[in-house]
Amino acid sequence: MAAQSVATSAETVENASGTSVDLGPATGLSCRECGTRFELGPIFACAECFGPLEVAYELPLGDPEALRAAIEAGPNNIWRYAPLLPVPADVASKPSLNPGFTKLVDAANLAKEFGVTGKLYVKDDSGNPTHSFKDRVVAIAVEAARAFGFTTLSCSSTGNLAGAVGAAAARAGFRSCVFIPHDLEQGKVVMAGVYGGDLVGIEGNYDDVNRFCSELIGDPLGEGWGFVNVNLRPYYGEGSKTLAYEICEQLGWQLPDQIVIPIASGSQLTKIDKGLQELIKLGLVEDKPYKIFGAQAEGCSPVSTAFKAGHEVVRPQKPNTIAKSLAIGNPADGPYVLDIARRTGGFVEDVNDEQVVEAIKILAQTEGIFAETAGGVTVGVTKKLIEDGHLDPTLTTVILNTGDGLKTLEAVAEGGGQTATIRPSLDAFRAANLA
């Protein structure tokens, strides 16, 4: 669908098959840089300045109490927020994995470990259907793919997204073909392949994979393909807003004082901020200051490096870290992350691989949550932010765990496992000094 520099309502837009597009309150796409408006369609870059596009809405302003009641009466998944998302009103009746409304864990043990005297929570998104937050963004992208008449779902992925696309495609009746770096963690490779779609390893890192996918979109081979994080990226990104919605609802419709978010492309962090701003605009939460902190692995820390140097531009890096799900050396939303961290009074920090592993174990041993390496990055950065005085331990803080540690077992395999191996006798147990 060709881009047009005019906003139109969803009802007037047609997909490739000539049927009207219904994406609920979404009214068009808007360039984040120059503000140029476009029709709803599978486009992701502004034709005027090449800036990124995001969804523009006609939000249900007016009666926040009625909207809050309608949300609370909705299903226990992201579709309770359908009036705030680019999805049709009847989305909950369509075949979907129905992700979301994951636990907000009161992490009192971790708080004690870190010397936090305020409330500390872990938003544990490992409880999603494929055990990562990617189920949220893919669910929204699937609705856009349906609306635009695509038949194949695809993506470039560092692992979690590949599994989420494969599972969502299987459930929704799409073909899937996803692309990953050839050297991903085996757990993620197996999980992504089990859903029956095509899984293609690309020789290179994530940035190489992403470039290949961008080329495929412009080739006849990619006709009818919806790349959830490329040509469907404006819709896909909106799924991360549901993390902001849920956190505030689970806090009793209050904004957290501080939130720590892992950075890969940076889209999750920017969309969480967008979600918080929408809740304020809608009157669903009281407007008050909040701080957003970004977390990266030292071996892939282009945003952290730029933030601490006071730069406006994020210089690409070649990733070298065990946190492969965050290993994006040229993050598309990096500059916007810098803006948000500075605007809110937050910070962007990084930790090395040893600190990542230590943090995974601390979270597991204090709260019983087994995080993947991205979660280790976030917890490790939280610890470092407290120690360096950037994060106030007296305030209400939310940490994001975006995936399940079973996907990245290699990171903690060394030195793990059995405490002892004994004969099946009480004498042997006594000799092991475990009682």
| Residue 418 in this model has a pLDDT that exceeds 90 | no
Alpha carbon distance 236, 400 (integer Å): 19
Is 83 within 8 Å of 60 (Cβ atoms)? yes
Reported confidence tier of residue 413, pLDDT bands at 50, 70, 90: confident
Its sign, for the CA torsion 157, 158, 161, 165, is positive
Alpha carbon distance 87, 232 (integer Å): 13
pTM equals 0.93
Alpha carbon distance 255, 244 (integer Å): 9
173, burial (CB in 10 Å: exposed 0-12, middle 13-18, buried 19+)? exposed
Total residue length of the chain = 435
| Residue 4 in this model has a pLDDT that exceeds 90 | no
Instruction: Tell me the mean pLDDT in the region 170-180.
Output: 96
Q: Is 104 helix (H, G, I), strand (E, B) or coil?
A: strand
Reported confidence tier of residue 279, pLDDT bands at 50, 70, 90: very high
Please tell me the predicted confidence (pLDDT) of residue 185: 84
| Residue 194 in this model has a pLDDT that exceeds 70 | yes
> What is the chain's mean pLDDT, rounded?
93
Q: Is 297 helix (H, G, I), strand (E, B) or coil?
A: strand
Please tell me the predicted confidence (pLDDT) of residue 360: 98
pLDDT digits (tens, 9 = 90+) for 312-364: 999 999 999 999 999 999 999 999 999 999 999 999 999 999 999 999 999 99
Both structure tokens of 410: 């290699």
